[in-house]
Amino acid sequence: MKRLLAALAVVVALVGCRQESPPRALLYRLTITVDTPEGPKVGSSVARLWVGFGDGPLGRMGAAIFFNVKGAATVVDLGARGYLFCLLDRDITRKGSDSQQGLLIKYAGRPYLDRPMPRTVDAIVEARPKTPIALENLPALVRFRDPAQPSTAEWIDPTDLEKAFGAGVAISRVDYEILGKPPMKPGAKLTDEIEVKEITDSIARVRQTIPWITLPRKVITEMVKGSDLEPMTKNHQYGRSIVESDFISGARTER
């Protein structure tokens, strides 16, 4: 019995010494092409994604346990018809909708799921795939009847843009492209990244299109008061709220 307990103690000690795999970082681009009577309109955004793993003593075979995104919603300028926003997070009321970060494993990682998750992500970064995304899996889509007023937000069905933007308007293609690793300072840790112009531009585009998104949350709450976006109103739908992190993530807002 003593030998058995000693052996178990050694196993526990060895397991306890095992370290989690270090997080990985990558860049991705989401591009949306919309057909309109005026011709195709294209919008794209670039974001940085960190992936952390739970393959330490308490984890299970390297399953991804968290993501961290620095980037912004994808904006498609439809001219006089307005703007289409593809948010960072999913539409919780639409079956099949996923977040932008969730598309990584579901699409880019599909050929590499026969290995532990850290190696899956490594393979994705090395291969740099460009993958078409099914409309039903798109994150939340939003438009504002008046971009100056958050209370005019409307959530859009990706298969029926005509309802919001008029006849002949439809998403023709969505691509999710892995761009490789983000630039890092020599000898730096994962958090010491170098600014990526495409990410900065993506964030600036959202802020320029809907400037109120940088206002304090309590101010935005006042701006939507009385509309269906106010949680206490009769027609409010769960998941239909304006949250800055759905539009911009990982970038400090100066207030």
Give the lowest-confidence range in 57-66, 113-122, 138-147.
Answer: 57-66
Q: Is residue 118 pLDDT above 50, yes or no?
A: yes
Q: Is residue 14 pLDDT above 50, yes or no?
A: no
CA-based angle 189:121:198, to the nearest 5? 65
Q: Is residue 173 pLDDT above 90, yes or no?
A: yes
Between residues 132 and 10, which one has the greater pLDDT? Answer: 132
Q: Is residue 3 part of a domain?
A: no
Q: Is residue 189 part of a domain?
A: yes
Give the whole-number percent of the chain exceeding pLDDT 90: 69
pLDDT at residue 3 in the model: 54
**Distance (Å, whole) CA 97 – CA 35:** 21
pLDDT at residue 186 in the model: 80
Q: Is residue 117 part of a domain?
A: yes
**Distance (Å, whole) CA 206 – CA 164:** 20
Please list, in sequence order, all residues whose beta carbon lies within 8 angstroms of the beta carbon of residue 255, skipping any fewer than 6 positions away.
214, 215, 216
Q: Is residue 22 pLDDT above 80, yes or no?
A: yes
Q: Is the distance from CB of 87 to CB of 141 less than 8 angstroms?
A: yes
Q: Is residue 146 pLDDT above 80, yes or no?
A: yes
Between residues 236 and 104, which one has the greater pLDDT? Answer: 104
The residue with tokens 């952390």 is 52
Give the lowest-confidence range in 58-72, 97-111, 127-141, 207-221.
Answer: 58-72
Q: Copy the structure tokens of residue 211.
A: 């400037």
**Structurally, how many domains does the chain consist of?**
1
Between residues 187 and 253, which one has the greater pLDDT? Answer: 187
Q: Copy the structure tokens of residue 221.
A: 């709450």
Q: Is residue 13 part of a domain?
A: no
Give the whole-number percent of the chain exceeding pLDDT 70: 85
Range of 61-65, 92-96, 229-233 with top mean pLDDT: 92-96
Average pLDDT value for residue range 155-171: 98
| Band (241; pLDDT cuts 50, 70, 90) | confident
**Distance (Å, whole) CA 229 – CA 240:** 6
**Distance (Å, whole) CA 114 – CA 109:** 10
Q: Is residue 69 pLDDT above 70, yes or no?
A: yes
Q: Is residue 10 part of a domain?
A: no
| Band (170; pLDDT cuts 50, 70, 90) | very high
Strand arrangement of the beta sheet that strand 141-144 belongs to: 74-77, 83-86, 141-144, 153-155
Q: Is the distance from CB of 151 to CB of 240 less than 8 angstroms?
A: no
pLDDT at residue 229 in the model: 81
Q: Is residue 151 part of a domain?
A: yes
Q: What mean pLDDT value characterizes the chain? A: 88
Residue type, 2: K
Average pLDDT value for residue range 33-57: 92
Average pLDDT value for residue range 17-25: 78
Q: Which domain holds residue 130?
A: 19-249
Query: Terminus-to-terminus CA distance in the chain, angstroms?
Result: 65
Q: Is residue 4 part of a domain?
A: no
Q: Is residue 236 part of a domain?
A: yes
Q: Is the distance from CB of 81 to CB of 145 less than 8 angstroms?
A: no
Give one word for 248, left, alpha or beta, with left for phi > 0 and alpha for psi -120 to 50: beta
